[in-house]
Amino acid sequence: MAAEDRPQITLITPPTFDLEIFPDLLARVLDGYEIACLRLSLATGDQDDLARAADAAREVAHARDVAIVIDTHVLLVDRLGLDGVHLTDGARSVRKVRKDLGADAIVGAFCGTSRHEGMSAGEAGADYVAFGPVGATSLGSGEQVDFDVFQWWSEVIEVPVIAEGALSAELVARFGPVTDFFAIGAEIWSAPDPIAALKALMAPLG
């Protein structure tokens, strides 16, 4: 696959991480593989914990000119110097969040398996739409997004699309021609060497 056609990578943080260890690991991953965007996807709702984690991750990302967005916490974007937000409720709040954060912020929307929800999010001003899970998972309803959704989207819609959830090298090979981004997180963080795991996952794209 030609470099200009190859999907880019959004890197998703683990839901919890050690501030003594993770920033160095994150730096090694960002230095070892080209990452387009970092997504803070943290399990905690504690604002102090979120702020400390976001500060550490932002410092590493911005030092390497990598944009950083945070899941759902719209009010923390400006306060923490982040580049935008990844909404997890489909199209529901895209229009209001776009108005609140302004034209320059990144506003993305996860739309599950629903093509209609993705179209609504794009029309409301989302910079990208994410669909998933692509692979088999016991999380959520377990329902997987159809390949046809990506194929149709790549042919008809101009808003960039992200494939995520339980990715494997085989799925990367299959979805590579019909997606703009892969969002990768859990697939690599549990590996002894996350960079090697990321490279192996993306190897089918050449």
pLDDT score of 3: 61
Which of 20, 23, 48, 51 has the alpha carbon at shortest distance from 38?
23
Q: For residues 94 and 125, give the distance between their C-alpha atoms in angstroms, rounded to a whole number.
A: 7
Number of domains in the chain: 1
Residue 127 lies in a domain: yes
Residue 94 lies in a domain: yes
Q: At 166, which amino acid appears?
A: A
pLDDT score of 4: 65
Residue 1 lies in a domain: no
Q: For residues 188 and 198, give the distance between their C-alpha atoms in angstroms, rounded to a whole number.
A: 6
Cβ atoms of 71 and 41 within 8 Å: the answer is: yes
Share of the chain above pLDDT 70, in %: 97
Does residue 1 register a pLDDT over 90?
A: no
Residue 2 lies in a domain: no
Instruction: Give the phi and the psi of residue 12 in degrees, each rounded to 5.
Output: -100, 130
pLDDT in tens, 18-37: 999 999 999 999 999 999 99
CA angle at residue 101 from 49 to 8, to 5 degrees?
A: 75
Instruction: Give the phi and the psi of residue 124 in degrees, each rounded to 5.
Output: -80, -10
The number of beta carbons lying within 10 Å of the beta carbon of residue 42 is 20
Strand extents, DSSP E, the chain: 8-12, 37-40, 67-71, 84-87, 106-110, 128-131, 161-164, 181-184
Residue 134 lies in a domain: yes
Distances (CA, A) of 200 to 47, 153, 203: 35, 27, 5
pLDDT score of 21: 96
Q: For residues 175 and 148, give the distance between their C-alpha atoms in angstroms, rounded to a whole number.
A: 10
* CATH number of the domain within which 163 lies: 3.20.20.70
Residue 98 lies in a domain: yes
Q: What is the mean pLDDT of residues 11-20?
A: 97
Residue 194 lies in a domain: yes
Residue 52 lies in a domain: yes
Does residue 178 register a pLDDT over 80?
A: yes
Does residue 17 register a pLDDT over 70?
A: yes
**Residue-range definition of the domain harbouring residue 175:** 7-205
pLDDT in tens, 39-53: 999 999 899 999 999
pLDDT in tens, 64-91: 999 999 999 999 999 999 999 999 999 9
